[in-house]
Structure 1
């Protein structure tokens, strides 16, 4: 009897293990099939023929499907300082279909990589707008090229590594969100052209609360009337801005028919290099090199990163980098006039540096 009991116990344990493995394998297979059929990144050729809005909260993961869709012939790249530029405001005047592919805290390398992905999948853009910020003047741009888990595998041309990276809990969650969208339980995270108002509602704006974030580390004060120190020629030569080589390559890959726009975004003066400092001299040198690149490639250069009625007014900002929605609309209108009509700013909001 003891021997029979031992055999029965072993047999029962074996059945339990086999049942567990079967359930586990079935669950894994079911989850994988769910991911492949729902396909939240719109990259699986045999997935269900359903609408796929942007359900990912990460621009870095959401944007490749937009650029592969071929719904857009023009692109905005940049960081969060360019995200409030509404493509729909630009489409009519430019006769284009814009996608705003700017990303929060985007590095210059990520912006270049995004542009390259668009060019390879949608063709040379009719209009390219680069929202330029200090990432392009970062002396350590190559070392800082990746931020916030940028998924390089989504931006290359190897489709096989896409599948290898799909099977994880994050993608499963997005597939569930997509199912929820079609059941009316979940909304798209942003418009399909990438535009999203990521700042708080305008009705909640409070200047008193915003001001400490605008003047981070500084006491609110008027700008000094001071020129930056002159850099010697050898000091200028010693300055390294590695990202400008990527900008030069990016513009050089485009045909003459593409409207190319480099636009310094209007961050608050407290977030700009302070007047009279060496930082201001270094920024001026970087701007001069960017202007030279623009001239070499027939690009327009519009500079809102100056002391202006926009950037000196605290009430225009949520923090030092992010302006409010009315300012975003104003900047888009000024961009249209500057690029299409060579219009100078009547009130000093911007400088049309290269026509």
Structure 2
């Protein structure tokens, strides 16, 4: 009789062993590729140099930009400040600037990238904080308002480089590593320049005023005049309005180096989406602006408010939709920031106001 020890292994056992061996080999190969190409700058020994930004999700890309230590100035915010050109800001403020604004970023996410920049850049010379209605929400600190459906790689933002690996082993990272491989072979350009600046709006030559008006008034539900039937603010005690995100702004401004230029900016929006101060929504925004101005004054920052109804924000031809202005307006904002920081005076044409000024001496 043949003993059980001498019986040949069942075919399924060989198949299973081969499957797991192949799986382990694939894992080793993919792990080696991810370590070699390091799409998010996760390797502790490689956090230097100039990475190629191959992903469009700025939440994953910008931490390694900061850790290059090539920039001592930064713009934080959402897409409403993404059109600010770092090279023009460099000329105005004497810094080396990266635009670190992120599409649809929550106030909490914006605070995280600013925290990382300030921690990694003790000699920062410029910090521009774009403040939009997200910062003025009463529930900005609630769990569902902290992170969007895009997810947030929190371990890429802490001081421990060894825990970044958990963001590497997924199909998205493999895709970005493959793009990096193509880039190194000269077959693919970076998705974003190292300073983060991208003209994400359509080509100006393709601008269609009729289509823009659809986005301003039709698709968004806004009308040609600021909403007049919004609930009135009568009886609202503005001192009881909850604005939790402003504590984050206060902390960021307090940590910005004393010699740095600090600018707190309310970007322009189309006048059709700006609620009148007599409405509840308008009263919240006015209270938010007032508190931001007080924080800016206390922290030696300049606040510049472009979110105003004026001839520029009432002109449909200046916008792609109710939030996103065109490139010529971005150029005016850049110049307005420089003028406001230098003089502390409101724009004579009403484009912006300066509720708080740091008292720049021209040095």
TM-score if structure 1 supplies the norm length?
0.91
- Structure 1 residues 139, 124: CA separation in 2 closer, same or farther (over 3 Å shift)? farther
- Structure 1 residues 274, 36: CA separation in 2 closer, same or farther (over 3 Å shift)? same
Using the TM superposition, name which of 341-350 and 260-269 deviates more.
341-350
Aligned partner of 2:321 among 309, 319, 322: 319
Which residue does 1:19 correspond to in 2?
A: 18
Which residue does 2:146 correspond to in 1?
A: 145
Residue 311 of structure 1 aligns to a residue whose secondary structure is helix
Which residue does 1:118 correspond to in 2?
A: 117
TM-score if structure 2 supplies the norm length?
0.89
Aligned partner of 2:159 among 157, 160, 166: 157
RMSD over equivalenced CA pairs, Å = 2.6
Q: 2:162, 2:222 → 1: CA distance?
A: 53
- Structure 1 residues 333, 50: CA separation in 2 closer, same or farther (over 3 Å shift)? closer
Residue 75 of structure 2 aligns to a residue whose secondary structure is strand
Q: 2:7, 2:318 → 1: CA distance?
A: 79
Deviations 1:4-42 (A, max 9, x none): 9x94561x4433322222221111100000000111112
Q: 2:47, 2:24 → 1: CA distance?
A: 23
Q: 2:151, 2:232 → 1: CA distance?
A: 38
Q: Structure 1 residue 34 and structure 2 residue 26: aligned?
A: no
Deviations 1:245-286 (A, max 9, x none): 111111112232121110100011122224542211221111
Using the TM superposition, name which of 333-342 and 61-70 deviates more.
333-342
Residue 184 of structure 1 aligns to a residue whose secondary structure is coil
- Structure 1 residues 35, 132: CA separation in 2 closer, same or farther (over 3 Å shift)? same
Deviations 1:137-173 (A, max 9, x none): 0000001122231221211122222112211111111
Deviations 1:209-242 (A, max 9, x none): 111211245464345999x96666x712221000
- Structure 1 residues 201, 350: CA separation in 2 closer, same or farther (over 3 Å shift)? same
**Is residue 140–residue 146 contact of structure 2 (8 Å, CA) maintained in 1?**
yes
**Is residue 153–residue 161 contact of structure 1 (8 Å, CA) maintained in 2?**
yes
Residue 261 of structure 1 aligns to a residue whose secondary structure is strand
Q: 2:46, 2:30 → 1: CA distance?
A: 14
Shift of 1:207: 1.0
Which residue does 2:346 correspond to in 1?
A: 344
- Structure 1 residues 286, 177: CA separation in 2 closer, same or farther (over 3 Å shift)? same
**Is residue 227–residue 273 contact of structure 2 (8 Å, CA) maintained in 1?**
no
Which residue does 1:197 correspond to in 2?
A: 199
- Structure 1 residues 208, 154: CA separation in 2 closer, same or farther (over 3 Å shift)? same
**Is residue 303–residue 352 contact of structure 1 (8 Å, CA) maintained in 2?**
yes
Residue 263 of structure 1 aligns to a residue whose secondary structure is strand
Which residue does 1:263 correspond to in 2?
A: 265
Shift of 1:184: 2.2
Mind listing any 5+ residue stretches in structure 2 that lack a counterpart? 358-363
**Is residue 302–residue 338 contact of structure 1 (8 Å, CA) maintained in 2?**
yes
- Structure 1 residues 217, 21: CA separation in 2 closer, same or farther (over 3 Å shift)? closer
- Say how many residue pairs are matched: 352
Which residue does 1:172 correspond to in 2?
A: 174
Q: 1:59, 1:7 → 2: CA distance?
A: 58
Shift of 1:312: 0.7
- Structure 1 residues 23, 48: CA separation in 2 closer, same or farther (over 3 Å shift)? farther
